[in-house]
Amino acid sequence: MSKLKIRNDELLQFSYAASHDLLEPIRSIIIFSELLEDNYKNKLDKTADEFLQFILNNAKRMHLLIKDLLEYSKLSSQDLNKQWINVLETYNIVKENIFNIINKKNAVIKYINIII
């Protein structure tokens, strides 16, 4: 077996273990954020409600990203199934994920629709 193959297998094993281990603390953050939201929403000031919503949204997004990493680590043991994707939807998800960076850098992101 080549060194590259061995390294790739090790990397996939690591990504599987790391993503699996990271899911539990993210679940806890989501659960406790939802408890805070249920018990204290509109009892604190507007800024606190916004911060709590920000924490909850980002924890949920991180949960999805980690789950995707976990799924990616499982791909090496499966045959890949090709499927069509909605590129505009993917573009919008990526743009949403880097929204803060876009605003901070005053970047302009454009989508060009090319039909092949």
Q: What is the pLDDT of residues 25-54, one digit of tens each?
A: 999 999 999 999 999 988 989 999 999 999
Report the pLDDT value the prediction gives residue 34, as an integer from 0 to 100.
94
- Residue 78 confidence (pLDDT) above 70: no
Contact predicate 74/16, CB 8 Å: yes
pLDDT score, position 77: 59
Report the chain's mean pLDDT, rounded to a whole number.
Answer: 85
- Look at residue 112 and tell me whether its pLDDT is greater than 80: no
Alpha carbons 29 and 31: distance in angstroms, whole number? 6
pTM of the model: 0.58
pLDDT at position 116 over 70: no
Neighbours of 84 (CB within 10 A): 5
Q: Are 56 and 37 spatial neighbours (Cβ–Cβ below 8 Å)? A: yes
Q: What is the number of other CB atoms lying within 10 angstroms of the CB of residue 2?
A: 7
Residue-range domain boundaries for the chain: 3-80
